[in-house]
Amino acid sequence: MRETRNAQASIFEHYSNHEYGIRLQKLSEVLDRHPGILDLVAADLIDTSVAAVGRTGLSAESVLRCLLLKQQRGLSYEQLAFHLSDSVTYRTFARLPAHLSPSRSCLQSTIRSIKPETLEQAHQVLTRSLLDTGVASLDKLRIDSTVVASPIAPPSDSQLLNDGVRVISRLLAKSKTDTGLKVRFTDKRKAAKSLAFRIFNAKQAVKNELYPELLKITRRVVKQADRGHQQVVDGTEACAATRKWLEALAHYRDLTARVIEQTERRVIQGERVPSGDKIVSLFEPHTDIIVKGFRDVQYGHKINLSSEVRGFITALTIEEGNPGDKTLFLPVLDYHRSVLGKLPRSVVADGGYASQANVAAGRAMGLKHVVFHKPVGVSLTAMGVKSKTFKALRHFRAGIEGNISELKRAFGAAKAMWKGHDGFKAFVWASALSYNLVRLARLGPD
């Protein structure tokens, strides 16, 4: 059974005198001072119903430390496996036994077993500790939002239709292996791929001529999926492999049908399809379309976050859709009050959050200052601050841009690379947790 901690340290543990080796040593000391984080992670990794016999594999402690290494160094699983087998400093930080060098697949399966809710709770435990010990302060708080991209290419209707044909046809082709029943179908993958390529490179007039043909092929493949689904239901006995195949076929069939509908509305009928009705990826269907300004379109999820004077991220939420910033202001304050048990003294946010209602609600909670760095529709008089105080808080707010930049650039939050909605959320929370831990290691002991 997997262990929570490594029972005994190796006599060969050694950190390099290089700047990064010293930083990892300090980060290791920070983790040792916050055992509550490890206990949360261990609950996801250790099955208490399994007998404590046989090989133990990576301890929960090593898995957590490998996750932190991966996030702060921006490593792939293959690169992480190499460094753990090659570097004494990395092995010392990860507290790997001398006989153990985890493979890429081992690292991937264990790290991804940590739930996003667990990483969120770990972030809350660390933040409460920082506030209780006085390392972090809520004397001043700054709020802003940004977008974390999903791991997809910029979408196009032709490519989405081609993806639907390709995935459904692949499932039908594997029906004999996965269910024991061979489903007969006409393979249209080559034709769909050719049409999608021609549409992508054609002028608009030619695209309008080619789209109906690609739609016709895709509708035919969807009908084949319906027939194949029914054949397997009627002709096989229910088992885990068959149910998995049926669920996958139904999942991609429904998504492809939605792509057909949105393509007909947008291309054939010339209708403007709302962002909320669009599918931008068959493989990451949770992805939102985030429009900033008139031309800047991003594909992922909006995150709303706050940081304090020393740059620690005190709150973070992953939003659904593209809510206006005005609606995201009060939830941050509610989070600090209900989860962290403390409210800031002064709050400053981007101009997009500005509203008289937000000022009134913040003041009603007991905040001394509620300021927006651009007084959009809210004057300084309405905010209840003097010009000198406004300028000081506005300059303080600019620091969150650097916090967001570091979170994205140094901890991978520019694009979440783990698959699925849970994977997206887990990646973002892993980045935020790593960011706070590394910042704490840099600032010194708490």
Q: 203 and 272 share a domain?
A: yes
The whole-number pLDDT of residue 275 equals 84
Residue 326 token pair:
């005005």
Q: 253 and 169 share a domain?
A: yes
Q: 212 and 97 share a domain?
A: no
Assess if residue 445 is contained within a domain.
Answer: no
The whole-number pLDDT of residue 51 equals 53
Q: 219 and 320 share a domain?
A: no
The whole-number pLDDT of residue 197 equals 95
Q: Does residue 23 contact residue 441 with C-beta atoms inside 8 Å?
A: yes
Assess if residue 13 is contained within a domain.
Answer: no
Assess if residue 283 is contained within a domain.
Answer: no
DSSP-derived letter for residue 332 is H
> What are phi and psi for residue 300, nearest 5 degrees?
170, -130
Q: 194 and 294 share a domain?
A: no
Which among 114, 135, 167 is the end of a domain?
Answer: 114
Tell me: pLDDT of 1 over 60.
no
The whole-number pLDDT of residue 375 equals 72
The whole-number pLDDT of residue 46 equals 79
Mean pLDDT of 100-124: 95
> How crowded is residue 345: how many other Cβ atoms within 10 Å of its Cβ?
14
Q: 122 and 107 share a domain?
A: no
Tell me: pLDDT of 138 over 80.
yes
Pairing of strands 288-292, 140-149: unpaired
Which structural domain range is residue 228 located in?
157-277
Q: 103 and 162 share a domain?
A: no
Which among 277, 310, 335 is the end of a domain?
Answer: 277
State the total domains in the chain. 3
User: How does pLDDT run across 31-88, given as a tens digit for each residue?
Assistant: 999 999 999 999 999 765 555 554 567 889 999 999 999 999 999 999 999 999 999 9
The whole-number pLDDT of residue 194 equals 96
Q: 228 and 348 share a domain?
A: no
The whole-number pLDDT of residue 54 equals 47
Mean pLDDT of the chain: 91
Tell me: pLDDT of 373 over 90.
no
The whole-number pLDDT of residue 223 equals 97
pLDDT > 70 in the chain, percent? 94
Tell me: pLDDT of 4 over 90.
no
Name residue, tokens 């704490």: 440
Q: 310 and 199 share a domain?
A: no
Q: Does residue 189 contact residue 169 with C-beta atoms inside 8 Å?
A: yes
Q: 145 and 165 share a domain?
A: no
pLDDT > 90 in the chain, percent? 79
The total number of residues written for the chain in this structure: 446
- Looking at per-residue confidence, does 12 or 271 come out higher? 271
Q: 330 and 420 share a domain?
A: yes
Assess if residue 10 is contained within a domain.
Answer: no
Assess if residue 4 is contained within a domain.
Answer: no
Amino acid making up residue 19: E
Mean pLDDT of 422-438: 97
User: How does pLDDT run across 201-223, given as a tens digit for each residue?
Assistant: 998 888 889 999 999 999 999 99
Assess if residue 1 is contained within a domain.
Answer: no
The whole-number pLDDT of residue 377 equals 75
Assess if residue 438 is contained within a domain.
Answer: no
User: How does pLDDT run across 72-85, given as a tens digit for each residue?
Assistant: 999 999 999 999 99
User: How does pLDDT run across 332-354, given as a tens digit for each residue?
Assistant: 999 999 999 999 999 999 989 99
DSSP-derived letter for residue 415 is B
CATH number where 423 lies: 3.30.420.10
The whole-number pLDDT of residue 331 equals 96
Mean pLDDT of 90-102: 89
Distances 279 to 76, 161, 242 between C-alpha atoms, Å: 28, 11, 27
The whole-number pLDDT of residue 384 equals 83
User: How does pLDDT run across 302-327, given as a tens digit for each residue?
Assistant: 999 999 999 999 999 999 999 999 99
The whole-number pLDDT of residue 50 equals 56
User: How does pLDDT run across 226-240, given as a tens digit for each residue?
Assistant: 999 999 999 888 889
The whole-number pLDDT of residue 5 equals 65
Cβ-Cβ contacts under 8 Å for 418 (sequence gap 6 or more): 112, 424, 426, 427
Which among 217, 246, 277 is the end of a domain?
Answer: 277
Assess if residue 11 is contained within a domain.
Answer: no
Q: 148 and 293 share a domain?
A: yes
| Closest among 149, 145, 233 to 183, alpha carbons compared | 233
> What are phi and psi for residue 377, nearest 5 degrees?
75, 0
The whole-number pLDDT of residue 48 equals 57
Give the pLDDT band of residue 293 (cuts 50, 70, 90).
low
